[in-house]
Amino acid sequence: MGRPVVDPVLVRELHRPDHRAWHHARRLAAFAVLYAAAAYGAYRLTVAFPGTAWVYVACLPLYLLAAASLHGISLFTHEAVHGTLAARPLWNRLLGAACAVPVLQNFSAYRVLHLQHHDHLGQPGDPDHYHNYTRWTWLVFAM
């Protein structure tokens, strides 16, 4: 099966860096504030009620908010890999690497693996193909 044909004009448009730096800065700041608020809230709860097991259950929504915020921050790494985070390649690499740090991700390794994924999208060589994760096909819907 050959590669799907995509209009070259659409490909260029999708890979055009978003030169509105404030757009990305606002989104990044929002994720950082949400993460900080969730972490601080969980900290305050555990300090206010030390030694109580229920406090960890009460913190679950805060843990989820913190995790979602970190995921949001790490999405900027994906944008940098595709060269759409900043207009200059150096800034793409620096910002992408900085956004990978909070989730303990190696930017260079992610770049290689992710671009390999695009080279083999949906084909047997695709490192993100679900067959590489499980033989239980019913889990595909959970992924």
- The fraction of the chain above a pLDDT of 70, given in percent, is 71
At 126, the amino acid letter reads D
Q: What is the pLDDT of residue 64?
A: 97
pLDDT for 136 equals 61
2-6, 77-81, 82-86, 109-113: segment of lowest average pLDDT: 2-6
- The answer to whether 93 and 62 have CB atoms below 8 angstroms apart is no
pLDDT tens column, 5-49: 667 787 777 666 655 667 788 899 999 999 999 999 999 999 999
CA 9, 12, 18: angle at the middle one, nearest 5?
130
- How many CB atoms are closer than 10 A to CB 37? 14
Residue range 102-125, pLDDT digits in tens: 999 999 988 888 777 766 666 666
pTM of the model: 0.70
> What DSSP letter does each residue of 14-75 carry, written as one string?
HTS----HHHHHHHHHHHHHHHHHHHHHHHHHHHHSTT-THHHHHTHHHHHHHHHHHHHHHH
Q: Which residue has the higher pLDDT, 84 or 13?
A: 84
pLDDT computed for residue 51 by the predictor? 86
- Pick the range with the lowest mean pLDDT from 19-28, 59-68, 127-136: 127-136
Per-domain residue ranges for the chain? Answer: 8-105
| CB 123 within 8 Å of CB 1 | yes
Q: For position 33, what pLDDT does the model report?
A: 97
